[in-house]
Amino acid sequence: MYQEFYSNSELRTNWFLATTQRLQLLRLVAASARFAGLKFYRFEARQDDAEQVQFAALTLVLPGVLKQVIFRGTDDTLTGWKEDFHLAARQQIPAQALAVDYLSRALARAPKTPLYVTGHSKGGHLAVHAASMQSEKAQDRIDELITFDSPRLCA
């Protein structure tokens, strides 16, 4: 897990994400018995200032245990924050369509594998939106939909 993160130059050079302390923690977590088997697949990110879209998702697999689609929340860019403000005022934001597509492809790649779908903040909103836009049959394959502190969602 640590090596996969460290070999991705886009992630490694992100000054906000890749602090020395976070990399040390990631190295320790990756070496632990509990998390050593975690694999991350299909990281996708889209940042477009003109379209005002900031999106990222990846699929986490713990072989024989679970498969999880994770949507990232707002990053540290001005574009990400602009899209957050649009989320408060518009019916749709560009990241929603990207999330629907990402989840559709994840479900299609493993038609018999149940999924967990999660996200934090805007990522949680994207998780709910993407799941709600799937067919009923596809929704039945989502074992759990978990959000963490997500906007535009009421308990």
pLDDT of amino acid 142: 93
Rounded to two decimals, the pTM is: 0.81
> Do 25 and 44 fall into the same domain?
no
> Do 104 and 140 fall into the same domain?
yes
pLDDT of amino acid 66: 78
Residue 133: give the domain boundaries. Answer: 37-148
Determine the longest span between alpha carbons in the chain, in angstroms.
Answer: 45
> Do 30 and 52 fall into the same domain?
no
Distance of CA 139 to the CA centre of its chain: 18
8-31 confidence digits (pLDDT tens):
555 555 555 667 787 788 788 888
> Do 17 and 67 fall into the same domain?
no
> Do 85 and 108 fall into the same domain?
yes
